[in-house]
Structure 1
Amino acid sequence: MNGQATILARAVSDEGDRLLSADEPLAGLQLRCGGELPGTIAPPELHELVRKARRYGFKLARAVCVQDGADTVTAWVEVEPQGDGQGCELRVLSWHSAPTPPEEPAATESRRLLTERHLAELSAQLDAGQRLLAVACNSAELAGTAQTMEAGLGRLWTEFLPLADAAHQQPLHWRLLDGARVLVEGSERTWRVALIPHMQPGFEPVGFELLLLSDEPAPEEVSACGTPVTYRRRSLVGQDLAPVLKQPISRIIANAETIRTRLAGPLPDAYSDYAGEIASAGKLLLELLDDMADLEVVESEGFSTAPDRIDLSEVARQAAGILGVRAREKGIALQPPQPSETLPAIAEFRRVLQVLLNLIGNAIRYSPEDSEVWIRLEDAGDRARVIVADQGAGIAEDQQARMFEKFERLGRSGDGGTGLGLYISRRLAEAMGGSLTVESAPGQGARFILDVPADPEG
């Protein structure tokens, strides 16, 4: 546009990108987009143009497209900073409004799926028979459900998320399950599932992506002491990288499992083995993402936990139950505390469970087949103690301190560990006012001891 162009409307913004005054039709657009006059510039495209001009300190002119109800407005706008951080002058040189063409059905569906993936609090990969292959969760409320589902890989997802309408007869076609209401144990919110098929035209789905969504906001968590439980932003990995990476990694795992189990057709054993290695590597990457996110949390400034009055016996039995399938697959007998045992403590239930899952999981991983893992309780006065003991190869004295360092795996490779679990577990124990130690000797197994403050009123 040249300097002789007709100016249709003028407007003025301040240093905070608030529209102070505007002529029509810009003033009307500002109000129809939900803004006020004076008020922050409402059309996002116009706001971004003004922000850039003010920030860079020189005049910008370009076409701006804004959604105005059922119409699309295309306007040529010049934005000129006034200097010294005083805001900008806006000049509208052309204005064209036309009905917005209807969106293609495929684009609408793609937008819906993108939105639902963003809002989902739990996702899972399923095979063609709707059996669980992998689970990812970013909700504290659903952490227990996710762990139970992970322990039940290979089973139907409806065993863990039963349909709210019990009148439905199983099995149901997947199209009838898409959008179905389900029940989530321990949650008072209403939930629904979205089933996204992995398929090629003309063929039946070879697998599915399951999304668990709720239209109600998550409730504020309150500790037993009456204080709200807050969860800090997980910064780069937990908030930015993990949500982006988990989806494609879960897809890789699902496809690899489909190949490994020969669901897509006959396959030589060697290729099935390769697919199994790919799936295992993908699961390790997911585990590493979770550990890196936890690492950011425990190393953040001012990290603390939410103290509750809990029963360590109950937490230990729950951890053993979650890992029971993994232990049975290796022929290992878990010996949790008896239901009649109790040991009151002051600690955060979720964090104690996290530590015990790591300790018991390690004991299963490094113990020989057909051995036992014991989970015992001790009342040590002002301390409440949980001991996880195994019949593994044991740990030399010079290695016992090193094993709690970051990324320390004591020379082991190919066993699926990330080298962060014990470091994170010790940091969590210390944040709860406790400790995590080990007693061991070569050939005599290992005893990991978690101490937390005892509940004096228990």
Structure 2
Amino acid sequence: MSRWAWTHDQAKHDMTAAGPIRARTDAADRLVEADEALAGLQARLGGAYPGTIAIPALLALVRKARSTNLSLIAMIAVEDEGQPLSFRAHACPTDSGTHIEIAEWRLAAGAWAADGNGPDDIALLRQLAEAHIVLDAEQRVISGLIDGPDLHLLAESIHQGFGRYWTDLIAVEGSSHQLPLHWRLLDDASVSIEGSARRWKARLLPIRGGGFELLLVAQTVPVQPAPSAPQQAGMAQLDWKGLLGQNLAPALRVPVNRIVANAETIRTRLAGPIAESYVGYAGDIADAGRHLLSLVEDLADLETVEDEHFVPAPDHIDLADCARRAAGILGVRAQERSIALALPPESALAPAVGEFRRVLQILLNLIGNAIRYTPGHTTVRIETGCERGLAWIAVADEGQGIRSDQAARVFEKFERLGRSGDGGSGLGLYISRKLARAMGGELSVETAQGGGARFVLCLPADNTAQMSALG
């Protein structure tokens, strides 16, 4: 599921995808690799994947870039299931096809449907709201931006709760019905939010083409009691628990994403021509911003997995399907390094019990590491299977491998095995193993056939799904 974010400096109705979206076409203008957002749009517009680009304006741009052998840029608008969408596309021809980079992916102005509120009323609501949450057509959380000083628990719930119904995270007062109800029954409902003593109203604004913008507007002002003498004396002894994940991380994501987006705009000369040296400077800024954002996310995840109350949300998943999804997200990065991803066959099944989002997080880390540390023009193999009550998935590369004396150390906190300057934090494998164990599984490493490293994630098998497949 794509995550969306939007900033206060943009119009509140503009919803922008974080970071550039990359794709590649072959010499016949067939979309053969694409990040998740563009691949999903291709499918929703009726196009095949891989297949000819289903967006006419983008197809025309790619064909013109290839025929003229020039790097071209254009603003493109399209309707995504009745919802206006626009983005800036950069097509760069190569010997074997065309590389595509997309920025400023956003819902166009006017994407919000009429709901009985005038534009001035909606603008006022957005100014007053201290939480802005985007929901899909089933009222499940897609993304959120939380500003209220007493809403740090909600911010953490939103960060951990992508794909859940918003009514699982926010209590609707006086309702004894099974939730979620029809959106009109929930619009203007009084709600209570964990950690906040204030009274709140929930406003639901339908988005044209499906989905909603949920605005939480306070009905009372926060009370700030004066600290007592013992509290004043103890202020120097701060409680750092929850400081990063609940407070700093949400506050840092928006400005850092904006730095990266602006640096990419300069680097790709979308704002106008600049000297070549400044292109390099802008690229360095964008890379540093991504590294900072990755570090913030790692530290927030570290705080989460080390919380004694952390419990994953188990679900019925298929590890083979998770592998194909993770490889699809990282396919462009692998192609840039001429690394082939060998995936389980479409018929392969590895039913397991685990939290889908956390399993995908582990696989993105394992496959991303394999792409980063294995030589170019090699293959990263992803295999799955079930045995002795466990479902497993393995990621094997053709790199230099991990020695037996390094196998235990590689899962330690901040362990980099002597590597520096590669953008890593040394937390990914530590967090991944903590997540695996929290889901009742294990993450281990062994020597791959051919000398590389082979990481194996094991989770409890979904015996019910296995019986259904056999029967």
User: What TM-score do the two structures reach when normalised by structure 2?
Assistant: 0.54
Do the aligned partners of 1:179 and 1:192 also contact (CA within 8 Å) in 2?
A: no
> In 2, distance between residues paired with 1:175 and 1:148?
15
Please list, as runs of the form range in 1=range in 2, the aligned pairs for 1:94-105 lying within 5 A after superposition: none
Question: Greater CA deviation, 434-443 or 343-352?
Answer: 434-443
Shift of 1:165: 2.0
Do the aligned partners of 2:135 and 2:141 also contact (CA within 8 Å) in 1?
A: no
Q: Does 2:413 match 1:406? A: yes
Distance change (3 Å), C-alpha of 1:346 and 1:161: farther
Match of 1:374 in 2: 381
Provide the secondary structure at the position in 1 that maps to 2:435: helix
Provide the secondary structure at the position in 2 that maps to 1:384: strand
Q: Of the two structures, which has the highest relative contact order with CA contacts closer than 8 Å and spacing of 6 or more?
A: 2
Match of 1:68 in 2: none
Q: Cα deviations across residues 402-449 of structure 1 (Å, max 9, x unaligned)?
A: 111111111112212111110000000000111000013898111000
Q: Which of 348, 356, 359 is the aligned partner of 2:355?
A: 348
Provide the secondary structure at the position in 2 that maps to 1:429: helix
Match of 2:444 in 1: 437
Please list, as runs of the form range in 1=range in 2, the aligned pairs for 1:58-69 lying within 5 A after superposition: none
Q: Which of 359, 368, 390 is the aligned partner of 2:366?
A: 359
Distance change (3 Å), C-alpha of 1:262 and 1:358: same
Shift of 1:377: 1.0
Equivalent residue letter for 2:138: E
Instruction: Give unpaired runs (5+ residues) of structure 1.
Output: 1-111, 134-146, 195-215, 222-227
Q: Cα deviations across residues 125-157 of structure 1 (Å, max 9, x unaligned)?
A: 57xxxx659xxxxxxxxxxxxx834999xx99x
Do the aligned partners of 2:389 and 2:460 also contact (CA within 8 Å) in 1?
A: yes
Q: Which of 263, 283, 300 is the aligned partner of 1:276?
A: 283
> In 2, distance between residues paired with 1:429 and 1:190?
25
Shift of 1:255: 2.1
Shift of 1:178: 2.1
Match of 1:419 in 2: 426
Do the aligned partners of 1:331 and 1:371 also contact (CA within 8 Å) in 2?
A: yes
Match of 1:165 in 2: 82
Match of 2:148 in 1: none
Do the aligned partners of 1:313 and 1:341 also contact (CA within 8 Å) in 2?
A: yes
Please list, as runs of the form range in 1=range in 2, the aligned pairs for 1:1-400 lying within 5 A after superposition: 113=8, 123-124=16-17, 132=21, 148-149=36-37, 163-165=80-82, 177-181=108-112, 187-189=137-139, 218-220=166-168, 235-400=242-407
Distance change (3 Å), C-alpha of 1:218 and 1:366: same
> In 2, distance between residues paired with 1:317 and 1:403?
25
> In 1, distance between residues paired with 2:373 and 2:416?
12
Equivalent residue letter for 1:331: S
> In 1, distance between residues paired with 2:139 and 2:335?
34
Distance change (3 Å), C-alpha of 1:181 and 1:189: farther
Do the aligned partners of 1:178 and 1:193 also contact (CA within 8 Å) in 2?
A: no
> In 2, distance between residues paired with 1:171 and 1:386?
36
Shift of 1:389: 0.4
Shift of 1:181: 4.3
Higher CA-based Rg:
1
Do the aligned partners of 1:180 and 1:192 also contact (CA within 8 Å) in 2?
A: no
Provide the secondary structure at the position in 2 that maps to 1:449: strand
Distance change (3 Å), C-alpha of 1:335 and 1:441: closer
Shift of 1:163: 3.4
Q: Cα deviations across residues 222-249 of structure 1 (Å, max 9, x unaligned)?
A: xxxxxx9xxx999211221012212221
Distance change (3 Å), C-alpha of 1:371 and 1:350: same
Provide the secondary structure at the position in 2 that maps to 1:437: strand
Q: Which of 432, 435, 455 is the aligned partner of 1:428?
A: 435
Distance change (3 Å), C-alpha of 1:314 and 1:280: same
> In 1, distance between residues paired with 2:77 and 2:426?
30
Q: Cα deviations across residues 314-333 of structure 1 (Å, max 9, x unaligned)?
A: 11111111111111121111
User: What TM-score do the two structures reach when normalised by structure 1?
Assistant: 0.55
Provide the secondary structure at the position in 1 that maps to 2:317: strand
Do the aligned partners of 2:76 and 2:87 also contact (CA within 8 Å) in 1?
A: no
Distance change (3 Å), C-alpha of 1:165 and 1:151: closer
Match of 2:220 in 1: none
Match of 2:219 in 1: none
Alpha-carbon RMSD: 4.3
Instruction: Give unpaired runs (5+ residues) of structure 2.
Output: 1-6, 23-34, 41-54, 59-74, 89-103, 114-133, 145-163, 170-178, 180-193, 196-240, 467-471
